[in-house]
Amino acid sequence: MAMRAAMASSILCVAACGGGGGAVKKSPSTGATTGTATATAETGTGTGTGTGTGEKDPHEWLEDVTGEKQLAWVKEKNAISQGELEATPGFEALRLRLLGIYDSKDKIPGVVVRGKWLYNFWKDEANPRGLWRRTTLAEYKKKNPKWDVVLDLDALGKAEGENWVWHGADCLFPKYEKCLLSLSRGGADADVVREFDTKTKQFVEGGFFLPEAKNNVGWVDEDTILVGSDFGPGSMTDSGYPRIVKEWKRGTPLAEAKTVFEGKPSDVSAYGFREFDHGRIRDWVGRSPSFFTSELFLREGDKLTRIEKPDDAGASAWDDQLLINLRSAWTIGDKTWPSGALLVTPLADFLAGKRDFTMLYEPRPNTSLDGYTGTKTAILVTELEDVKSRVYLHQRTRTGWKRTRVETPEVGAFGVSAYDEDRSDDFWFTETGFTTPTTLSLGNIKRKTREKLKQNPVFFDATGLESTQHFATSRDGTKVPYFQVSRTKLTLDGQNPTILNGYGGFEISMTPGYNSTAGAAWLERGGVLVIANIRGGGEYGPEWHKAALKHDRQRAYDDFIAIALDLVARKVTSPPKLGIIGGSNGGLLMGVMLVQRPDLFGAIVCQVPLLDMKRYHKLLAGASWMEEYGDPDKPEDWAVLSRFSPYQNVKAGVRYPRTLFTTSTRDDRVHPGHARKMVARMTEQGHDLLYYENIEGGHGGAADNKQTAYMFAMAYAFFAKQLGLPPAQGR
């Protein structure tokens, strides 16, 4: 929903967030053995070394992202890794197989409804950087719809000599003719904003333009936009995001734009947007003092009215209602609403001081709120029950709200989003599973129907595969779920090459889904895939996340270790056959596993990682994550961080599992210096490892399908070599 989406975009996360609030027409939210670990590593304790002791970090020079000497170092490391992995039997066949999957013309084209048009951004072999195109619903329902190309990004990049990567379009309701396009150089979070006319299919001469920055923009009306950008010294937060929101009139210098809201330098970000909803226009501004807190204000001219909610609660408006999603218990009078609940009340009543809520989602021990979306007359809520999706319909009646279970299969992951929010009761419904290709249907609340429109192709042979759920017992006795995808008659002899994937942070849930990459590169060849649902994620709501925050971070790592040990105990695999993979915060997880349990794994792929937890808050967006990890400058926080920070705990003389580190030069969210310095230190200590840094790609690691296919081919070729899996075959 509009406010919810805008707030999320203002608090940019480690994993995958982005975009800006802007003018919103309601929009809802895819083998080497190891040595024995030391007692210190096994218990997750330690003193920390290197930069943690105050000595000069000899590898800090690698933090200069684009320095000539630094890039020469990168190219040297890249050449070694590319030479080895490209020579791995089946590498090229696998790369081409994956590229064919990503470029498939039969995959579901995701769309955004804007008036009569359904807009889609599409990449394939002929259009590696992509086409922004549109069609009608009647056409979209056809097997091969006709598309009207609005912008060819490859042609634009060629004409302008730029390696543009699409970051999205914010179009002005209700005609959607004027749009603010966000274009990134090479995939970085920072982008350039340019005004575009969808009628003429041209950029507007003399139109709104913002130079490269971590911009946050959106429409107020045809001649006015709200802007958060780098206006000069003091205009950005310590985390590198906009601190000031301005109202900019067409035809006037940006320097003369009126400031309408300011956050603090220590905030994560400040934001503002106009919302069009059920015939109403509302203006909102707000600030995020930390990653999981926000202050939200209804703006009426120069008057700001604060939404008096708990700072760590989310809020959104739908029709004449206010929805509040709690992250902590909230006591009002003699009533306490539980952490994780979704509450609703009339907005006017709330602003008048009333606090009479209805609870649309009530947390239970094995459930969590996965998301919600509003249509014209109803609210759809998606819940997770032991990490399995359930969907419920909430409708207003004369006596209150009526809750009805939406008929769905018992097993699978489901996604629900409004088709055209306040003007339709249609909704998009997606269904996916580990071995079932994603399907897209169009449902209608009043008719209680769902029309299947599209289905992704079968990208790998799932014959004889099954997905099962298991629970491991963590060190403190907590039961931690995980999914296993493997052969139905798997031989339990400890010899199955297995990949364990984890994240465990920022309240992000790891839910079932059709993974065509892992399917083609691993499962089809006999490998086992395991998905960990460790604490720090959102699988069981805010408390599951909070259980592994800051000083309790070790619990997430204990959970992951427990799952690995359970796989070994069940004889699914054994340490020499067990590989692990994770990116971003999951890359930190990989680094911690490397230094804490080198005896437990045979190979590690560590992607776009945080690794130097002494300096993470000083690098790019790192300051915005201190609510998750803690502040290294505080002795009490560093005492905890120093025990697991990979860069400070890696040592000479320990036999570590062979690791492939990957990152991107253009990642301006998690600094590539983390991976660079870790590799430099480990190389200096004499450890055997590989490193690959994509020059483009941003935090996603790759800027187009070709780069993505290459990166994943490297990862799975590495696993196959280290864990002992037959070479990939073409198809």
- Residues with catalytic function: 584, 699
Residue 541 dihedral angles phi and psi, to the nearest 5°: 90, -175
Answer whether 277's CB lies under 8 Å from 421's CB: yes
What are the Cα distances from residue 503, in Å, to 20, 273, 457, 559, 645?
Answer: 25, 31, 28, 11, 16
CA distance 231 to 33: 54
The SS3 call for residue 133 is: strand
Check: CB of residue 1 under 8 Å from CB of residue 323. Answer: yes
Return the axis-axis angle of helices 554-569 and 635-644, rounded to nearest 10°.
20
| Residue 104 burial (C-beta neighbours within 10 Å; 0-12, 13-18, 19+) | middle
Distance CA 691, CA 699 (A): 16
Question: What is the maximum span of the chain, computed from C-alpha positions, in angstroms?
Answer: 72
CA 359, 361, 366, 370 torsion-angle sign:
negative
| Whole-number CA gyration radius for the chain | 25
141 C-beta neighbours (distance < 10 Å), count: 13
Count CB-CB contacts under 10 A for residue 451.
13
260 near 246, Cβ under 8 Å?
yes
Listed residue (28, 723, 16, 17) closest to 375, CA to CA: 28
Q: Cα 140 from chain centroid?
A: 28
Helical ranges in 497-553 per DSSP H: 516-521, 542-546
Q: Are 709 and 99 in contact (CB under 8 A)?
A: yes
- How many helices and strands in the chain, by DSSP H and E? 16, 40
